[in-house]
Chains A and B, each alone.
Chain A
């Protein structure tokens, strides 16, 4: 295992303080989680929607960080139970679903941004496209033509658009072939399909989850199961939503989603990408094998997580006395970075594309660079019925479910996963 990568580093502009400053924990997190003055659901950072992860896709040729792996279970368990955001962990493999993603590269002074930007931009531009279909009935997703053409070949992702998980009915199609319907009490009683009450119900159950396995061997065209589901969704209680769809199929061409749903109003959309350069940013100093951080030498994972949230929400880090919103400061020890590059991708992004993006970001460290680490944060949709794998996701006052990769120069990485109130612990 390579030695700690941060030897030879000297803080610029004065020595770090003897005693660490008291941490003001709450400002950045409250911004990210709490409602804005009018009580809207998603903080400004989260824009679009996606389905939670299902399959773990093993990552190729990654070097694991042994210290982090040992610390995984304890950290995640304790932190996740105590308060909504979870601690750091470094599991094997990437558990992901379609997401909105962000990449932040911290760079040192002197490295010309113009040389690197086109390369990164070209990789980011290829995040694939997704489709928005209006007024699609759910029974069309259960039709056998659809299952044979899309669900059984490659991975098909679908999520209802403009539905709230705690108020309306929601549906999602996972790449392992399961159709999840999260319906309210009235709809469940009228639908007639077998489901279970939601985990986050309490005494009066107001939400039910119906799971239909489309790739089940017992779900062939003439089976009782298939006929019952089709009858329920077609005649008993027709459900119609606007769907976000994406399909990943390496290799064989077949009919595309666009041609299959040409009768409905379908439009192809590309994820929205924005770039910005942050100047004179205070970045915490990190050591890849020091998860808890050493006082005066490196910052801990929780401090990094908070700082990242503050930076991505454009919270000022200078603790001005005139600011009433935030007294948050960058955790010590930190270094002043002249330029940092921030890229935000918003859309219905599938995990296969996120893995490609991650691999390209690792190549960033192929040539010697002054940057010590970069991060990739992926947010799941706040209104999706599932978060990690098939664990149920709810929305109490916030529906965040996200993971964050921190990649170091020597290709060690940290993985942090965070969930909201009505969520299971991440795997």
Chain B
């Protein structure tokens, strides 16, 4: 099993609240978190900014409870798309997008869901949990996404805040499970406060409610998150096999082929 990860911590402007969120996540036992920067195209045109390096934001990262390692902080970008023209940003060779570790897309219509699952170069496809799904899931795009190594993300913090959203979360999750049969699911919080975070074993128990089996539910918080992170890393490589690392003093040299875990179609 891989270490537990929470791939959706909204990145607010306040540094102190982020620090307390990180400390809560480390205390609960998460080995890796991803700070999420959400871009919504409905509002006025936003530029994609460079991700803030976690090392600058947090001088000292908290230690994960029960181990002696520090928590790993990644950067993530979520694009909320409601129009096919918004996807052009992903296809463009904008330098800033490449700097994020994980890229997620939040499709609002069925056509965009199909495009995201089949053609877009993303790691996560977010599933709406705050309102009734405007479209039904169909098997062909979902199976294509599973083949490509894309994961579906479910959030649980809205369910903590409001009881109506709880109903939508469970109903949307169950309808997704009927189509994808529990594969390629990632459950993460969208916690804005430390109180909305839950421990990894509790989250995998929540997965049981959604219809996952015991091993799938535990994988949704650990193994699948690791696969998503690796999928994001391969975007910076050549076909996921070779990547270049800048050495501090010498000239750039290429590393020899990496072990099989770094392939694009992650069989991990």
Contact = CB atoms under 8 A, between A and B. Distances in A.
Interface of A: 35, 37-41, 162-164, 166-168, 184-186, 189-190, 202, 204, 206-207, 242, 396-397
18 contacts: A35-B202, A38-B28, A39-B28, A39-B198, A39-B199, A39-B200, A39-B203, A162-B66, A162-B67, A166-B222, A167-B3, A167-B4, A168-B3, A189-B260, A202-B215, A204-B219, A396-B214, A397-B205
B201 A206 contact: no
Given A35-B199, A162-B68, A41 B29 contact: yes
A423 to B, nearest CB: 15
Contacts of B66: 40-41, 162, 164
B181 to A, nearest CB: 13
B32 to A, nearest CB: 11
Interface string B208-220: 0000001100110
Interface string B21-42: 0000001110100000000000
Contacts of A163: 67
A168 B69 CA distance: 10
Interface residues of B, number: 32
A171 B69 CA distance: 17
Nearest to A134: B68
B220 to A, nearest CB: 13
Interface string B101-113: 0000000000000
B261 interface: yes
A162 B223 CA distance: 21
A184 B68 contact: no
A183 to B, nearest CB: 12
Contacts, number: 70
Given A40-B65, A189-B260, A35 B1 contact: no
A78 to B, nearest CB: 22
Contacts of A41: 29, 66, 201
A37 B215 CA distance: 21
Interface of B: 1-4, 27-29, 31, 65-69, 198-205, 214-215, 218-219, 222-223, 259-261, 267-268
A40 B201 CA distance: 8
5 A-B pairs with the lowest CB-CB distances in the bound complex, closest first: A39-B199, A39-B201, A39-B202, A166-B1, A167-B3
Contacts of B27: 38
Given A35-B201, A39-B199, A397-B201, A206 B259 contact: no
B248 to A, nearest CB: 22
Nearest to A242: B68
A167 B32 CA distance: 12
A113 B97 CA distance: 72
A35 B65 CA distance: 15
A207 B4 CA distance: 15
B82 to A, nearest CB: 35
Contact of A207 (B1, B28, B199, B259): B1
Nearest to B204: A397
A398 B260 CA distance: 32
B268 A185 contact: yes
B218 A206 contact: no
A163 B219 CA distance: 19
Given A40-B66, A164-B67, A166-B1, 16 more contacts: A35-B199, A37-B199, A38-B27, A38-B198, A39-B198, A39-B201, A162-B68, A163-B67, A166-B222, A167-B1, A167-B2, A167-B31, A190-B259, A206-B1, A396-B214, A397-B204
Contact of A189 (B68, B69, B261): B261
A167 to B, nearest CB: 4
Given A163-B67, A168-B67, A189-B259, A39 B2 contact: no
